[in-house]
Amino acid sequence: MDEASRITTVDEIPEDSSFLFTVRDGFDLEEAILVRLADGVVAFENYCPHWTDVRLDTGSGAEMRNDELVCTKHGATFERDTGYCTYGPCEGATVDEIDVTVAEGVVYLTDDDYEFEQTGPSGDHDLSSRGRIGFSGN
């Protein structure tokens, strides 16, 4: 593993949310999320398969409910370890996975299709707009 592919440490990934980072695919920037699992981490492209312009993590961590990722726009739920949609308008679809590897508590991007760009959002999306479904109880 080299420093150019280093994303973050496992300890920096919230247990009940996600960690947002940006990758480069040629000239294009794409957002991705890390999700902590009981035995490691998994990375997915940061979008809902129903509408791919809708982000699961809008900048403050993806919503989780009953140990599943939630699209706050549509209410769709996704298995945290596979990205498989278990409920909602995209039921049966799967969020695309991005290859990562953990070595000595550090997460590295190992997907040949991408280069690590930065932690946080790509800057290509308006992160101020939130979904219509709230889970905070407010």
Q: What angle do CA 29, 35, 39 make, to 5 degrees?
A: 135
Tell me the domains of the chain and their CATH numbers: 3-118 (2.102.10.10)
For 87, counting Cβ atoms within 10 Å of its Cβ (0-12 exposed, 13-18 middle, 19+ buried), the class is: middle
pLDDT band, residue 131 (cuts 50/70/90): very low
pLDDT band, residue 53 (cuts 50/70/90): confident
pTM: 0.87
pLDDT band, residue 51 (cuts 50/70/90): confident
pLDDT for position 123: 79
pLDDT tens digits for 60-99?
A: 999 999 999 999 998 999 999 999 999 999 999 999 999 9
pLDDT for position 127: 43
Question: What is the 3 state secondary structure string of 2-70?
Answer: CHHHEEEEHHHCCCCCCEEEEEEECCEEEEEEEEEECCEEEEEECCCCCCCCCCCCCCCCCEEECCEEE
pLDDT tens digits for 90-126?
A: 999 999 999 999 999 999 999 999 999 999 998 765 4
